[in-house]
Structure 1
Amino acid sequence: MPSIDNSFLMNHTCLRIKDPKVTIPFYTEGLGFKLIKTFPFETFTLYMLNYENESNKDLNWSAREGVLELCHNHGVENDPDYKLNHGNGTEFRGFGHICVTVDNIEVVQEKLLAKGVKFQKKLSDGRQKNIAFALDPNGYWIELVENGINKVEAKTDSANYRFNHSMIRVKDPKKSLDFYKNVLGFKIISKKDFPEAKFTLYFLGYDHDPEFKEDSQQGNEQMKRSSLIELTHNWGTESDPDFKGYHNGNSTENGAIQGYGHTCVSCKDPAKFCAEIEQELGDKADWSLKWDQGNIKKIAFIRDPDGYSVEILGHDLFANQPNL
Structure 2
Amino acid sequence: MTTDPSKYKLNHSMLRVKDPKTSLTFYEFLGLKLVNKMEFPEAKFDLYFMAFDSPKAVSHGNHWSDREGIIELTHNYGTENDPNYKIANGNSNPGRGFGHVAISVDNIQAACQRLEDAGYKFQKKLTDGKMRHIAFALDPDGYWVEIIGQKPIEETENVKETDVRTYRMNHTMIRVKDPEISLRFYKDVMGMDLKQVFESKQSGFNLYFLGYGPSAPKDTANGVNPVADREGLLELTWNYGTEKDANFKYHDGNSEPQGFGHICISVDDLDAACSRFEEKKVDWKKRLTDGKMKNIAFVLDPDGYWIEVVQNEKLKPRSNW
By the TM > 0.5 criterion, same fold? Answer: yes
Contact 1:292 1:299 in 2 (8 A): no
Q: Structure 2 matches for 1:179-190, cutoff 5 A?
A: 179-190=185-196
Contact 1:36 1:50 in 2 (8 A): yes
Pick one of 168, 176, 180 that aligns with 1:170: 176
Q: Structure 2 matches for 1:226-241, cutoff 5 A?
A: 226-241=231-246
TM-fit CA distance, 1:41: 0.5
- For these two proteins, the number of residue pairs brought into alignment is 307
Aligned to 1:247: 251
Code of the aligned partner of 1:165 = H
Code of the aligned partner of 1:49 = M
Contact 2:3 2:272 in 1 (8 A): no
Aligned to 2:76: 73
TM-fit CA distance, 1:320: 4.3
Q: Distance in 2 between matches of 1:217 and 1:39?
A: 42
TM-fit CA distance, 1:5: 4.3
TM-fit CA distance, 1:280: 2.6
TM-fit CA distance, 1:237: 0.6
Structure 1 unaligned residues grouped into runs of 5+: none
Secondary structure of 1:251's counterpart equals coil
TM-fit CA distance, 1:270: 1.5
| 2:303 is equivalent to residue 306 of structure 1 | yes
Code of the aligned partner of 1:248 = D
Secondary structure of 1:225's counterpart equals coil
TM-fit CA distance, 1:7: 2.2
When normalised by structure 1's length, the TM-score is 0.89
Contact 1:38 1:46 in 2 (8 A): yes
TM-fit CA distance, 1:158: 1.2
Q: Structure 2 matches for 1:1-324, cutoff 5 A?
A: 4-29=4-29, 31-42=30-41, 43-54=44-55, 56-148=59-151, 153-207=159-213, 209=214, 212=215, 216=218, 218=220, 219-243=224-248, 245-252=249-256, 257-281=257-281, 285-316=282-313, 320-321=320-321
Contact 2:3 2:268 in 1 (8 A): no
Q: Distance in 2 between matches of 1:127 and 1:304?
A: 33
TM-fit CA distance, 1:58: 3.2
What RMSD over aligned residues (CA atoms) do the two structures have, in Å? Answer: 2.1
Q: Distance in 2 between matches of 1:174 and 1:148?
A: 31
Contact 1:49 1:69 in 2 (8 A): yes
Contact 2:295 2:319 in 1 (8 A): no
Contact 2:12 2:232 in 1 (8 A): yes
Q: Distance in 1 between matches of 2:225 and 2:126?
A: 18
TM-fit CA distance, 1:274: 0.5
TM-fit CA distance, 1:294: 3.2
Structure 2 unaligned residues grouped into runs of 5+: none
Moved more, 116-125 or 140-149: 140-149
Secondary structure of 1:221's counterpart equals coil
Code of the aligned partner of 2:21 = K
Code of the aligned partner of 1:246 = Y
TM-fit CA distance, 1:148: 2.8
Code of the aligned partner of 1:251 = S
Secondary structure of 1:153's counterpart equals coil
Code of the aligned partner of 1:266 = S
When normalised by structure 2's length, the TM-score is 0.90
